Amino acid sequence: MREVFDHIVIGAGLGGLSTACLLQDKGKHVLLLEAQHSVGGCASYFARKKFLFDVGATTLSGMKHDQPVQRLLRRLKIDIDLLLCDPGMIIRMNDRTLHRWIDTERWITECEQCFGPARQREFWTLVHSVADTAWTASASLKNLPLQSARDLLSIPGMVRHASLVPYLFRSVQDVLKESGLADNKDFVRFLSEQLMITAQSDVRDTPFVVGAMGLAYPSDTWYVMGGMNNFPRLLRKNFTDNGGTLLLKNKVVSVESDIVKKVTTEDGNIFYGRNIISNATGWDNKRIFPAQEQYFDKEYASLGGWGAFTGYYGVEDNPGIGDHLYQQIILESPLPHCGSNSVFLSFSAKDDSSRAPQGFRTLTVSTHIAEPQHWWKLSEHETTRRKEEIGAAMTDVLNKHLPYFRQAEKVVEMFGTPITFANFTHRSFGQVGGIPQSMHRPLFFWPGSKTDERGVFVVGDTIYPGQGAPGVILGALNLADRFVT
């Protein structure tokens, strides 16, 4: 007799893992299929010469009481060894260094010293108040974006959070204009580069609600001891300890539409499930669900993602690094062939001996690549040349901005391109970081977890509410609640 699972989850990124854990925890019969040999997707890791590198995600946030990561950990009773970073990050810009302190007063003083005193207090007070309200709203509004008549039931909850509505349809730039801050060029540049980390867009294209959540995020930045991948590894343990079935190296190639759906993997394995939850991106799902091709085409044709270029360094420790584990360097212009005016640096913690040998640290550096599809049109020779060119430029930036970096011994120096990400995460054209925010298609009009087919759902950073551990986990909490509450 064939075994029929309640839920088959395709992909063990943070989205798929969280959903699988939440369902399994409530006694559902869940199968989790992952294409790679390890879990985590963009929050996975690789090891090289005794160094353990996070491939993409490095910071954990969303840890305040009502926020998604904290809610998930509480529900699953997972204990995770974390280090709170204060400052959450430092930002190097115009030969100055800003410390993004957790304490709002201290941060406002820092901004007043750097950008001038005018209106900083009003702006940051508004940012934190809108962000706090938005997180509270997101915890109570489970059925956003509205996708069915049943979801209308959440509208009374929306009325309670009506103060947010104007900020959904005004960009960060609109609010800057209203506050008289739009002409403060350095400040606007700083905000745009901060927003690129979370919203994947600048001040012009980011709705203020999302912008506020993104700008408040560095006040809640945590380092995961052992590396970010410890988080998906703990989720994996929780899932299997609770009796869930995880099969690695099982890439799903198709799902047939039916009441009980037939799932086929690249190696010809076949599984059956009543509900299928895909953690693949919206761009990739149309191949996995042929009957839903039109749905995914309609939803995703106008939505494109960024690619990433990453540098991985095993570097000699230096007192200059200290506790400044996360650093953004704002550049005058992007690295060659790249798309944002900044690079983001993540060091392993000094005491984290599981990630680097004594006297060394791991360093992951990332920046955006515009139109990653273009990399698939390059010859092999041109791909290698471009990778070397960007890698050298990235190292030059580090040499220029970090006084100790040039002299420091580097045991590992490796680079990743959109092609690397496509190979390791199975994301079409290595598009990472979810859907960039846009005023043309604000967040509430993004695709949701439900598709046009009964029993087919999507989770991850290409549906509402988007990217990063907090966004993806909020999507997982909301989706799981459709089945278990």
Residues in touch with ligand FAD (CB under 6 A): 10-16, 33-36, 41-43, 56-59, 251-252, 279-280, 284, 288, 308, 310, 366, 425-427, 432-434, 460-461, 467-469, 472
What contacts 428, CB < 8 A, 6 or more positions away?
A: 281, 283, 284, 422
- Smallest gap, in angstroms, from Cβ of residue 45 to ligand FAD? 12
Hey, which residues does 13 pair with through a beta bridge?
A: 40
Give the whole-angstrom CA distance, residue 474 versus residue 137: 12
Name which of 252 and 331 has its Cβ closer to ligand FAD: 252
Hey, which residues does 407 pair with through a beta bridge?
A: none
Give the whole-angstrom CA distance, residue 25 versus residue 7: 13
Beta strands in 232-280 (DSSP E): 245-247, 252-256, 261-265, 270-278
- Smallest gap, in angstroms, from Cβ of residue 475 to ligand FAD? 8
**From residue 127, how far is each of 108, 109, 263 by CA, in Å?**
11, 15, 45
The DSSP call for residue 309 is E
Kindly give the interhelix angle for 104-115 and 120-140, rounded to the nearest 10 degrees.
Answer: 140
- Smallest gap, in angstroms, from Cβ of residue 423 to ligand FAD? 10
Give the whole-angstrom CA distance, residue 87 versus residue 221: 8
Name which of 110 and 284 has its Cβ closer to ligand FAD: 284
- Smallest gap, in angstroms, from Cβ of residue 176 to ligand FAD? 25
Name which of 150 and 249 has its Cβ closer to ligand FAD: 249
Name which of 207 and 227 has its Cβ closer to ligand FAD: 227
> What's CA 389's distance to the chain center, in Å?
26
Give the whole-angstrom CA distance, residue 169 versus residue 442: 8
Is-contact 474 138, C-beta < 8 A? yes
Pairing of β 270-278 and β 4-10: parallel
- Smallest gap, in angstroms, from Cβ of residue 398 to ligand FAD? 16
Per the document, the length of the chain is 485
- Smallest gap, in angstroms, from Cβ of residue 433 to ligand FAD? 5
Name which of 143 and 364 has its Cβ closer to ligand FAD: 364
Is-contact 432 306, C-beta < 8 A? yes
Name which of 393 and 469 has its Cβ closer to ligand FAD: 469
- Smallest gap, in angstroms, from Cβ of residue 131 to ligand FAD? 16
- Smallest gap, in angstroms, from Cβ of residue 232 to ligand FAD? 9
Q: Which of 19, 61, 83, 44 is nearest to 478 (CA)?
A: 19
- Smallest gap, in angstroms, from Cβ of residue 127 to ligand FAD? 19
- Smallest gap, in angstroms, from Cβ of residue 408 to ligand FAD? 22
**From residue 374, how far is each of 179, 354, 370, 402 by CA, in Å?**
40, 37, 9, 32
DSSP per-residue codes, 459-481: -STTSTT-SHHHHHHHHHHHHHH
The dihedral of CA 334, 339, 342, 346: what is its sign? Answer: negative
* Gyration radius (Cα) of the chain, Å: 22
* Residue closest to ligand FAD when measured from CB atoms: 13
Using DSSP's 3-state secondary structure scheme, residue 354 falls into coil
Name which of 254 and 318 has its Cβ closer to ligand FAD: 254
Name which of 100 and 175 has its Cβ closer to ligand FAD: 100
Q: Which of 195, 175, 87 is nearest to 130 (CA)?
A: 175
Name which of 175 and 255 has its Cβ closer to ligand FAD: 255
Name which of 188 and 472 has its Cβ closer to ligand FAD: 472
- Smallest gap, in angstroms, from Cβ of residue 479 to ligand FAD? 12
Name which of 16 and 465 has its Cβ closer to ligand FAD: 16
Using DSSP's 3-state secondary structure scheme, residue 136 falls into helix
